[in-house]
Amino acid sequence: MEQSVKIPVVERKNTPRILLFKWLAIINIFLLILAVVIDNKLLALASGSILIICIFAIRTNKRYSTTGFVIFSKDEINIHLQGIKKTILVKEINFVKIKYGGYSGEPYPNPKSIFPKDGTGNFVYISQESGKYSFELLFDKLSLNLLNRITEMWKQRGVNVTIIGGWGIEVGSL
């Protein structure tokens, strides 16, 4: 059986709810600073509590929508997006560039967040004679491992595959 992986294509969105919580968070940061300056413990407690609730609400809201999927295999890439179906043969590809941002559930490498990554922030750029394509992909751990195996096969066949990891540094594999 041919090895392939189906990965969702996503589009980031800022819903009115997320924007509201962002504005509330900004306002409460200023209120918290004011409360510290005027030494008002009640205002500091209230604005700090609201700030924590806003941050939690922003992080737990889904910030993307699925717009289709891409199927990567050893010999081709099948693109299925809202009414668009396209097959790209691997032998016709000039280059593939993958910018890795993390898979769903991956912990951050440093303790900057108690929330794990949501799997977005992964981009693929495909160039061939007839056009260029770019998508934001939603990775989970299994699809990431399968895509890594497929890109290794492409490299062995002479396809120019570049993988960019964190901080914009080129890495050998996903």
Q: For the chain, give every domain's residue range.
A: 4-11+66-171, 13-60
Give the Cβ contact number of residue 20 at 10 Å.
Answer: 13
Whether the Cβ atoms of residue 9 and residue 133 lie closer than 8 Å to each other: no
φ/ψ (deg, to 5) at 116: -75, 170
- pLDDT score of 84: 84
Instruction: Please give the average per-residue pLDDT across 110-137, as a whole number.
Output: 80
Per-residue confidence (pLDDT) for residue 112, from 0 to 100: 64
pLDDT at residue 158 is higher than 80? yes
pLDDT tens, residue by residue, 13-42 = 767 777 888 889 899 899 999 999 998 899
Residue 114 has pLDDT above 70, yes or no: no
Whether 2 has a pLDDT exceeding 70, the answer reads no
CB of 125 within 8 A of CB of 134?
yes
More confident residue, 84 or 170: 84
Query: Residue 77: which of 15, 6, 142, 26 has the closest Cα?
Result: 6
pTM of the model: 0.70
Please give the mean pLDDT across all residues of the chain: 83
The SS3 assignment for 150 reads helix
Letter for the amino acid at 150?
I
What digits encode the pLDDT tens for the residues 83-97?
A: 888 888 888 888 899
DSSP string, 88-110: EEGGGEEEEEEE----TTPPPSS
Q: What's domain 4-11+66-171's architecture? A: Roll (2.30)
